[in-house]
Structure 1
Amino acid sequence: MSSQTNLIERLGERLAGIRGRLTPNVGMDTVTWFRAGGPADTLFQPQDEEDLAEFLRNVPEEIPLTIVGVGSNLLVRDGGIRGFVIRLSAKGFGSAEVISPTRIRAGAAIPDKRLAAVALEAGIGGFHFYHGIPGALGGALRMNAGANGVETRERVVEVRALDRQGNLHVLSNADMGYSYRHSSAPADLIFTSAILEGYQEDPEVIRAKMDEVQHHRETVQPIREKTGGSTFKNPPGTSAWKEIDKAGCRGLAVGGAQMSTMHCNFMINTGTATGYDLELLGETVRARVLAHSGIRLEWEIKRLGDFEPGRTIEPFLGTAPDL
C-alpha cells in the first residue's frame, strides 16, 4: 500500500457488497476528545451488524483492524493508524429497546448517557452511573467502565460480538471475564450489542441519583476541557490522583498537554497538544509517581497508532529498574 486510497483500490471487488461508508485518510484529531493524533489510513462505518460481518469476511487477515468508539478515552499517536479503523455508526448500532421490566437491549454505539436516560424513562434502576461516563456502550463493555461505585459487569447479561472472520458469538457475563477496568474477552471481538439488566426503581429516585452524578462531575472534573477522562487506573488501596498529587504532578505540563489543576488524574489539551505531548506527559507522571512512591500507575486511556519517526516514548521514560 503506497497510499490510503490504495487500500480501498487493492481490495476492490472484495468490498463491492459493503453498504457502509469507507473514507480514506481521516484525521483522528477530528474523532478523539483530545483533538490530537495522526490520520487513519481508512475509516469504515458499517451500516449494521450484517454489513460489518460481510466486511470482516472479506478483509484479509494481514490488514490491521482497529476498533474505536466515540473517542473519549483514546489517545492516537501522531504517526496515525495503519489499515482500517472501524467505528460503529449511531444509526446501525446506537439504539436501545426495553425488552422487560428490568432489561434493556442496546447497541454498542449508544452513548452511555443516552443509555442512562432510556433506563430512567423505563423506571429501571442501576444505570444512573452511565450518566457520568463520556463514552459509548462498546467501550464500557470492553473496559468494564464504572463510576459512583457501580461497574458495567453488574449490569451485563449477554453480549453479541463478531470475530475477525465475521462469525457471531454470544457471550455470557462469565464469558466476559470481568475485573477492575478490564475484560478478558478475546481482543479481536467487536461488540455489537448487549442485553443489560437492572431492577425496578422509582424514576424520581433514579433522577436524583443521576443529578448527584452530574453534580459530582461538574464540581470535581474538567468536563469542559479537551480531555480523555481518567488517565490512569486507581492502584490497589489508593487513588491515582492522590499519588499524582503527592508526586508533585498537579498542573504539570509538556508542550500543550497538562495534568488538570482541578483533577490531576485528568490530562487535558490546552489547545496545541500533539499526541506526543500527551503521551510524554503521561509517562513523565508515571515515572515521577514510581520514583516517589514505588507505585506503577497503569494507563486507563487507550493509546493507538504509530509514533512519528524518531519520536518514541519509553514506558516510565525507561526509568523503571525492570524495563
Structure 2
Amino acid sequence: MTLEHLFDIPYPILQAPMAGAQDHRLAVAVSQAGGLGAIPAGMLDAARLDEQLSAYRALTERPCNVNFFCHQPPPIDDAREQRWRERLAGFYRELQVDPAQIARGPSRQPFDAAMAQIIEKHRPAVVSFHFGLPAQELLERVRRSGAKIIASATTLAEGLWLQERGVDAVIAQGLEAGGHRGMFLESDLSTQLGTFALLPQLADALELPVIAAGGIVDARTARAARVLGAAAVQVGTAYLATPQSLASELHRKALQDPRARHTVVTCAFSGRPARGIVNRLIREIGPLPDTPAFPLASNAITPLRARAESLGLDDFTPLWSGQNASQCRTVDAGQLTRELGEAASDKA
C-alpha cells in the first residue's frame, strides 16, 4: 500500500508541524493542494486545539495530521533554574527585564487524556508524535478513533522501537532538520545521522513506510529521498516563507539572509536540542549551555525575546530552520505543495 493510499492524499508530501509558526491556515492550504497538512498541538491546550480543528474542518474536508509532544514533564529544579537566570543576568540588565516577572511552569504540555478527547471528537486522519509515544492506554484511544499513527525516529533503534509498538509509518528525521530533534531513546547527539544516511537504514530494516524529513526543500531533494527508499517526504523550513505561515518578519528575514547558511543544534531556547539559525544568544552563551529541563528553559528566555523583538532584534528569538534554507521562497503554500508533490511522485 502506498502512503498516498494510506493517508488518502494525492501527493506523497507532508507538511511538518511547526508549533508557534503556523495555525490551521497553513495546514488547509497544503491539504487542499494534495499534501497532508499538519496542525501542531505542542503549544496548545485542549480548548485551543478544539478551535483549530474546528476552523480547519470549516474550510476543508481533506485529511490532516495533528501532532503532539510526548516528553515527560520535569519537576522544577530551583537550583538549576537559578543558575540559568544567573547565566542570563547580563542580558536582563541590558534590556531592563525584571527576572522576578519570569513565569514558572511548563510552556508545552505532552499528549494527555484531555487531548485524547479532542482527537475522539474530531477524528483526524493522522496523529503524529514527537519524542516517542504516549502511554499505551492513550495510544490505544488514538488508534480506536481511526487515526493512522506516525512518529519521528532519529536512529535505527528508535525506528525499530516504534515499529514494535504498532505505528503505521515512521518519520526519518535527519540531523539537517529544523526545530526540535525527535530523539527519545537517548540524549547523545553523536548518535544523530543525516537524512540521507538514516533514511536507507530505516527503509531497509522496517516493514513500514518511511517518511524522509530534513534538508528537503525542492524537487531535487524530494526525488533523492524517494530514490533512497522514502515513501513520502516531510517538509518544514520551506513552508515558513509562505504567506500562510505565522513566522515573524524577523524570522522570515533571517531565512532569506546569507546567515541562514549557519545553523546549529542548540538547547539554549527550550532545554532540548533543536536546530536554528545562529544568533546573539547562541554566539554568546554557546549552543549547548546547562539549562533547566525541557520545556522549562524557555521561561527565562521569553521576556528577553519579547523585549528584543520590540526593538526589531532577533537576538533571543529561536530562528528554527533546517540546514537547507536556500530554496525558501515567498510562494503560496499550495503552489509549493504541488511543485514538491509532482517531483516526489515522478517515478522516472
Do Structure 1 and Structure 2 share a fold, with TM-score over 0.5?
Answer: no
Structure with bigger gyration radius: 1
Compare the two structures and name the one with the higher helix fraction: 2
Q: Normalised by the size of structure 2, how large is the TM-score?
A: 0.27
Higher RCO (C-alpha under 8 Å, 6+ residues apart): 2
